[in-house]
Amino acid sequence: MNDKLMLMIPGPTPVPEAALLALAKHPIGHRTSEFSNILAEVTENLKWLHQTQTDVLTLNVSGTGAVEAGIINFLSPGDRILVGSNGKFGERWVEVGQAYGLNVEEVKVEWGKPLDPAVFAEKLQADTQKQIKAVIITHSETSTGVLNDLESINRHVKAHGEALIIVDAVTSLGAFNLPVDAWGLDIVASGSQKGYMIPPGLGFVSVSPKAWEAYKTAKLPKYYLDLGKYRKATAKNTTPFTPPVNLIVALHTTLRIMKEEGLESIFARHERLKNATRAAIQGLNLPLFAADSSASPAITAVAPQGIESDKIRSLMKKRFDIALAGGQDHLSNKIFRIGHLGFVSDRDILSCIASLEVTLTELGYEDFTPGSGIAAAVKVFSQS
């Protein structure tokens, strides 16, 4: 059957009908009071989502552009930075730092394992000259399904006193508790096609007062991504450049939906989706790629033995129109990833696991009793 696509990749994520309808409207002028009013509410609700009183700025970029803006506005050529690297995205921030001539120290861990806060503590404590200007952490490493212990790493950054903490929160914001002010996070970047439940095209950056101080002396070149321009415009409920008007109108809708659900419920739902997915995968005797103690609430990576991941993905797509994500780089065809971020319900996981059981059976995998994945998921869903 056609036209029944179910996106279970970690972005773009599914979009609720109310947001699709908002996208279908005629664009309105972005220099009108009608648009300003929408933007004002969007900005207020972004602050609510980030649990912050500081600035949350909206840019017409994908998530990478948001993180890049979060780096280049606060640093100068040659600045020493530490970058946590345990997957595709951590590696990307190393590359961005190098592209801008920063003195990047990569704090590397094998893909699938979490970053070790003790290593950051050691490096930060040893830096008595306060030369480390920033620490960049990917909170939820989407390529592996690992949630890094940002709270602990950030404590060590705070103890250092000088370094800014820059967070790629692209698949943790809106899925996991990330209290920007309570934790004192300086820069938090995210993207619209993940937890925000709208299509790709917008990036978001929150900026602390300490980061704005650093902005004053930062010398890396910038123009379109100069966050000072966005700060000034946002204060007047406008934008420095033409925004994707319809995406903002759709975001206005999904932020209201999120507020209605409430932060606690949103986090609890993602926790439940993660637990059910992981229980089901174990019920199917398939190995999970990340440990329980560092599992992302947004994405579960599975490392099947003896069956190619891409065969599972292509049959899931063909037979059930369910899109799963594959592995990247050396994990290509070695893992598949089930996204459960954003507009995802318990029912979606049940459909996905039942379809996976059929798919595995058709591919000749017999190391499970039919129904055992579903039974494990049902157990999680009926307990919570």
Ligand X SMILES: *Cc1c(COP(=O)(O)O)cnc(C)c1O
Residue numbers at the binding site for ligand X (CB under 6 A): 10-11, 62-64, 89, 138, 142, 168, 170-171, 191, 194
DSSP structural state of residue 174: T
Q: Which is nearer to ligand X, 22 or 298 (CB)?
A: 298
Task: Write down the least CB distance from residue 246 to ligand X, Å.
Answer: 18
How crowded is residue 119: how many other Cβ atoms within 10 Å of its Cβ? 16
Q: What spatial distance separates the first Cα and last Cα of the chain, rounded to whole Å?
A: 33
- Please state, in angstroms and rounded to a whole number, the distance separating the CA atoms of residues 81 and 219: 15
Residues in the chain: 384
Rg of the chain on CA atoms, in Å: 21
Q: Which is nearer to ligand X, 85 or 138 (CB)?
A: 138
- Please state, in angstroms and rounded to a whole number, the distance separating the CA atoms of residues 63 and 69: 10
Q: Which is nearer to ligand X, 191 or 243 (CB)?
A: 191
Q: Which is nearer to ligand X, 342 or 373 (CB)?
A: 342
Task: Write down the least CB distance from residue 267 to ligand X, Å.
Answer: 18
Q: Which two tokens stand for residue 202?
A: 């917008």
Q: Which residue number places its CB atom closest to ligand X?
A: 63
**Bond before 12 cis per omega within 30 degrees:** yes
Q: Do residues 185 and 206 lie in contact, with contact meaning Cβ atoms separated by under 8 Å?
A: yes
Q: Which two tokens stand for residue 238?
A: 């406008």
Task: Write down the least CB distance from residue 357 to ligand X, Å.
Answer: 27
Q: Which two tokens stand for residue 128?
A: 């008595």
- The CA–CA distances, whole Å, from 177 to 17, 206, 256, 344 equal 26, 15, 18, 17
Task: Write down the least CB distance from residue 136 to ligand X, Å.
Answer: 11
- Please state, in angstroms and rounded to a whole number, the distance separating the CA atoms of residues 78 and 69: 17
Task: Write down the least CB distance from residue 134 to ligand X, Å.
Answer: 17
Return the closest-CA partner of residue 343 out of 18, 38, 2, 1: 18
Q: Which is nearer to ligand X, 184 or 200 (CB)?
A: 200
Task: Write down the least CB distance from residue 22 to ligand X, Å.
Answer: 21
Task: Write down the least CB distance from residue 325 to ligand X, Å.
Answer: 10
- Please state, in angstroms and rounded to a whole number, the distance separating the CA atoms of residues 160 and 58: 30
Q: Do residues 331 and 111 lie in contact, with contact meaning Cβ atoms separated by under 8 Å?
A: yes
Q: Which is nearer to ligand X, 90 or 373 (CB)?
A: 90
The answer to whether 337 is a known ligand-binding residue is yes
- Please state, in angstroms and rounded to a whole number, the distance separating the CA atoms of residues 369 and 316: 19
Q: Which two tokens stand for residue 20?
A: 């699709």
Q: Which is nearer to ligand X, 10 or 112 (CB)?
A: 10
Detail the residues annotated as belonging to a binding site for substrate: 337
Residue ranges of the binding site: 337
